[in-house]
Structure 1
Amino acid sequence: MISEKCKGDTLNAKAFAPAHITGFFETHDHQNPVMKGSTGCGIVLNAGIESTVTAGEGIQKSEIMLNGKKVSGNTISTVIEIITDMPVKVQCQADIPVECGLGASGAGALSTAYALNSALSLNLTANKLNEIAHVAEVRNSSGLGDVAAQSVGGVVIRTVPGAPDSGKYDHIPGPELDVYCLTLGKLSTGSVLGNAELLGRINYTGRKAMEKLMQKPTIAEFMACSRDFCIDTGLADERIIDIIETVEAAGGMASQAMLGNTVFAISNNPEEETVQQALTEFGNVLHYKTSFTSIRII
Structure 2
Amino acid sequence: MRAFAPGSVTAVFAPGETADQSKGASVAIADGVVADVTLAEGPDAGSSTTDEPDAERPTADDHVVTVGGEPTDFEPVELALRKLDLPNAARVDVTAEVPIGRGFGASGAATLATVIAANAEFDLAMSREDLLEIAHRAEVEAGTGLGDVFVQHRGGLVVGDGGDPRKFARETTIEYSSFGPIATEEALADEDLMARVQREGTALLDALPDDPTLADLTRESWEFAQAIDLPTAAVREAVEAVESAGGTASMAMVGETVFAVGVEGVLENQTEVCPEGAELQ
Assess same fold via TM > 0.5. Answer: yes
Asked if structure 2 preserves the Cα contact closer than 8 Å seen for 1:114 and 1:297, the reply is: yes
Alignment of 1:295 onto 2:267: no
> How do 1:82-231 residues align onto structure 2 when only pairs under 5 Å count?
82-85=83-86, 86-158=88-160, 160=161, 162=162, 167-174=163-170, 176-214=171-209, 217-231=212-226
Query: What 5-or-longer segments of structure 2 have no aligned partner?
Result: 46-61
Deviations 1:146-186 (A, max 9, x none): 1111110001102x3x4xxxx11003343x11111100011
Q: 1:77 Cα shift?
A: 0.3
Asked if structure 2 preserves the Cα contact closer than 8 Å seen for 1:231 and 1:241, the reply is: no
Three-state SS of the structure 2 residue aligned to 1:234 is coil
Q: 1:216 Cα shift?
A: 6.0
Q: Give me the whole-angstrom Cα distance separating, in 2, the residues matched to 1:108 and 1:215.
A: 31
Three-state SS of the structure 2 residue aligned to 1:235 is coil
Asked if structure 2 preserves the Cα contact closer than 8 Å seen for 1:172 and 1:219, the reply is: no
Q: Give me the whole-angstrom Cα distance separating, in 2, the residues matched to 1:252 and 1:262.
A: 16
Q: For residue 15 of structure 2, what is the aligned residue in structure 1?
A: 27
Three-state SS of the structure 1 residue aligned to 2:250 is strand
- Which one-letter code corresponds to 1:22 in the other structure? T
Runs of 4+ residues over 2 Å off in structure 1:
56-59, 171-174, 214-220, 275-279
Q: For residue 63 of structure 1, what is the aligned residue in structure 2?
A: 64
Q: Give me the whole-angstrom Cα distance separating, in 2, the residues matched to 1:56 and 1:62.
A: 7
- Which one-letter code corresponds to 2:22 in the other structure? S
- Which one-letter code corresponds to 1:289 in the other structure? E
Q: TM-score with structure 1 length normalisation?
A: 0.84
Q: Give me the whole-angstrom Cα distance separating, in 2, the residues matched to 1:66 and 1:76.
A: 11
Q: 1:202 Cα shift?
A: 0.8
Alignment of 1:244 onto 2:203: no
Deviations 1:163-212 (A, max 9, x none): xxxx11003343x1111110001111001001000110011110111022
Q: 1:290 Cα shift?
A: 0.3
Q: 1:84 Cα shift?
A: 2.0
Deviations 1:4-25 (A, max 9, x none): xxxxxxxxx1111110000000
Q: For residue 262 of structure 1, what is the aligned residue in structure 2?
A: 257
Query: What 5-or-longer segments of structure 1 have no aligned partner?
Result: 1-12, 268-274, 280-284
Q: Give me the whole-angstrom Cα distance separating, in 1, the residues matched to 2:38 and 2:91.
A: 5
**Closer/same/farther in 2, CA of residues 217 and 119 from structure 1, 3 Å limit:** same
Alignment of 1:233 onto 2:228: yes
Q: Give me the whole-angstrom Cα distance separating, in 1, the residues matched to 2:38 and 2:187.
A: 34
Q: Which residue of 41, 49, 70 maps to 2:25?
A: 41
Asked if structure 2 preserves the Cα contact closer than 8 Å seen for 1:56 and 1:88, the reply is: yes
Three-state SS of the structure 2 residue aligned to 1:168 is coil
Q: Give me the whole-angstrom Cα distance separating, in 1, the residues matched to 2:257 and 2:40.
A: 40
Q: Give me the whole-angstrom Cα distance separating, in 1, the residues matched to 2:246 and 2:219.
A: 13
Asked if structure 1 preserves the Cα contact closer than 8 Å seen for 2:232 and 2:256, the reply is: no
